[in-house]
């Protein structure tokens, strides 16, 4: 009569790799001779010998300057548009800080450049770091004032 408790368990011994010739897995431990797969601590998957893997091969273009001046460029027509929308006040001085507060230019920009595209009807006081010749002419024509920040 047999029951579950009396049957002998099937025990398979764990193979101890690299424990001498007699074990059957001595010397090279079943890894063969030479080559990347025979060595330890090397990842095999998607390794391409120092070059970018196949799925990551992308063109590299341009470069990022260390002296990247964050210049905010705004045209006179944009300034006029914001004055018409009552977002900007023509009596106040228009500078980098006021434009940042109103989220007209990016908060990271450090330099303001005014360009002369479009027409401006209101008299404005502009304080900028850079300004184009056409913008200066248009502002003088309507009687606006310009302050250029010196570095």
Q: What is the DSSP string of 37-53?
A: GGSSS---TT--TTSPP
Token code pair at residue 82:
């914001």
Please check the confidence at residue 95 and state whether its pLDDT lies above 70: yes
Whole-number Cα distances in Å, 17 to 10, 12, 26, 28, 31: 22, 15, 6, 9, 10
Identify which has the larger pLDDT, 77 or 40: 77
Q: Tell me: the pLDDT tens digits for 29-58?
A: 988 898 878 888 776 666 666 666 666 667
**Burial profile 115-141: b = 16 or more Cβ within 10 angstroms, e = fewer:** bbeeebeeebebbbbebbeebbebbee
Please check the confidence at residue 2 and state whether its pLDDT lies above 60: no
Range scoring the smallest mean pLDDT among 47-61, 68-82, 101-115: 47-61
Q: Tell me what the mean pLDDT of segment 2-20 comes to.
A: 76
């Amino acid at each position: 009569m047999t029951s579950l408790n009396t049957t002998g368990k099937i025990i398979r011994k764990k193979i101890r790799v690299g424990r001498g010739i007699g074990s059957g897995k001595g010397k090279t431990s079943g890894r063969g001779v030479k080559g990347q797969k025979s060595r330890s601590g090397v990842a095999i998957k998607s390794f391409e010998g120092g070059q970018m893997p196949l799925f990551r091969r992308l063109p590299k273009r341009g470069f990022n300057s260390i002296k990247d001046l964050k210049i905010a460029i705004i045209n006179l027509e944009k300034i006029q548009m914001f004055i018409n929308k009552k977002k900007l006040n023509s009596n106040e001085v228009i500078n980098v800080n006021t434009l940042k507060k109103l989220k007209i230019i990016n908060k990271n920009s450090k330099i303001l450049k005014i360009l002369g595209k479009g027409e401006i009807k209101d008299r404005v006081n502009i304080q900028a770091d850079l300004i184009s010749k056409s913008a200066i002419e248009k502002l003088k024509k309507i009687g606006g004032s310009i302050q250029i920040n010196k570095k």
